[in-house]
A = this chain, B = another copy of it.
């Protein structure tokens, strides 16, 4: 078979290590020029394919592709753009295949979360039906760590490390000021439905009484009375209280503590601002002085404190996706399989996209302490290796240095315009 091109796209919220995956895909493809002539990257993810604006990665030097691993965010642009059911979105799927055909694209690597695995799966099906079968690989990426089957998701380990480190550092600050100043410190972290990121904050404390004193998970219905009692206990005992709260913390009836009312392109409720809600609760009911931080994008872009384990895995899933594709597998995703907690050992296997698409993996009950405010030892055993190791980007003049990409478009071949 003559060499074909590959299409690689980043999808959904970006991470500190998604570009390491891109590096893994492109570097591995370059080793197999006889099969993959070029990797085209979608400018702004899948949109780049739909509007036929793809980036020619062959124009980037080996040094640039290697340096992608040091750069947070999405080097080619990502998109929150969901291709829904084939029936409702037939035109888009058909357009995709039309573009793939025009550019001799036989491989599709879709680097994203649950929604993207669904899309990759559907593209695989429809491409066959349309007589231009494309080898479709999902490549896992999500800070939320909520993909099933895989032991963990690239992107998560680094945000977990950021949250654990930040919690430990801020706790030193609060502890030293509590006598006369802030008693309650609240750190708001991401995690719409799954509490993995909030749980990682729990790694900051190792012994009993060590902060954080309270974690609020989306998986545990918020009990205001129990929460306030716990805050008071902590302040009475330690003079301060450190709280890590997930943006997805919700009441028993499902109402988010911070319901913003707006929705993103995927139809998910857009959250933010649970910290001030919790803070006001503490002030109004306990009269305690508080401070809060909202980590927001800082947590998922903090390449400077990325987990070395996470970086390795992010690169590996990119590399293995290409290998799987070259081995003739399609509609699968490389998954991380843990073989040992300590010493931590893992390998890459593959799983069908149909088992992964549109499913969310919540924090299991056995990872949350009975009182609902902390993590168990089983959870620590799971999380600890994921934040292990530091892998600092290069710094120049005190700032992280990122590669400068040319990001040159592949000339369009279709005369038609497509509006997304």
Contact residues of A with B, CB < 8 Å?
10, 13-14, 16, 44-45, 47, 71-81, 161, 164-166, 168-177, 179-182, 185, 187, 203-204, 264-265, 272-273, 275-276, 291-298, 300-305, 307, 384, 387-390, 392, 395, 397-400, 402
Contact = CB atoms under 8 A, between A and B. Distances in A.
Nearest to A293: B296
A292 B291 contact: no
A180 B173 CA distance: 38
A179 B387 contact: no
Contacts of A398: 161, 164, 203, 307, 384, 387-390
B301 A291 contact: no
A323 to B, nearest CB: 26
B177 A14 contact: yes
9 contacts: A71-B172, A72-B173, A74-B173, A169-B400, A276-B276, A291-B297, A293-B296, A294-B294, A392-B392
B176 A73 contact: yes
Nearest to A177: B78
Residue with the greatest number of chain B CB neighbours at <10 A, chosen from A74, A168, A182: A168
B387 A177 contact: no
A398 B161 CA distance: 7
Contacts of A298: 166, 169-170, 187, 293, 295, 298
How many copies of this chain does the complex contain?
Answer: 2
Given A173-B301, A293-B297, 5 more contacts: A14-B177, A75-B176, A165-B304, A170-B301, A174-B297
B302 A166 contact: yes
Nearest to A303: B169
Given A47-B179, A176-B10, A399 B264 contact: no
A131 B168 CA distance: 45
Contacts of A47: 179-180
A175 B75 CA distance: 9
Residue with the greatest number of chain B CB neighbours at <10 A, chosen from A76, A169, A272, A303: A169
A179 B79 contact: yes
A280 B228 CA distance: 30
A185 B297 contact: yes
Nearest to A166: B298
A79 B400 contact: no
A273 B294 CA distance: 10
A47 B384 CA distance: 39
Residue with the greatest number of chain B CB neighbours at <10 A, chosen from A14, A161, A165, A398: A398
Residue with the greatest number of chain B CB neighbours at <10 A, chosen from A164, A265, A304: A304
Instruction: List the 9 closest pairs (A to B, CB-CB), nearest first.
Output: A73-B172, A74-B176, A293-B296, A387-B398, A44-B179, A173-B301, A169-B301, A73-B176, A388-B398
Nearest to A401: B168
A120 to B, nearest CB: 18
Contacts of A296: 170, 291-294
Contacts of A390: 392, 395, 398
Contact of A305 (B172, B175, B291, B304): B304
A384 B397 contact: yes
Given A302-B166, A384-B397, A398-B307, A77 B173 contact: no
Given A293-B295, A295-B293, A398-B384, A14 B176 contact: yes
Nearest to A79: B180
B304 A80 contact: no
B384 A169 contact: no
A175 to B, nearest CB: 6
Nearest to A171: B73
A202 to B, nearest CB: 12
A256 B390 CA distance: 40
A269 B147 CA distance: 45
A107 B157 CA distance: 48
Contacts of A275: 294
A37 to B, nearest CB: 26
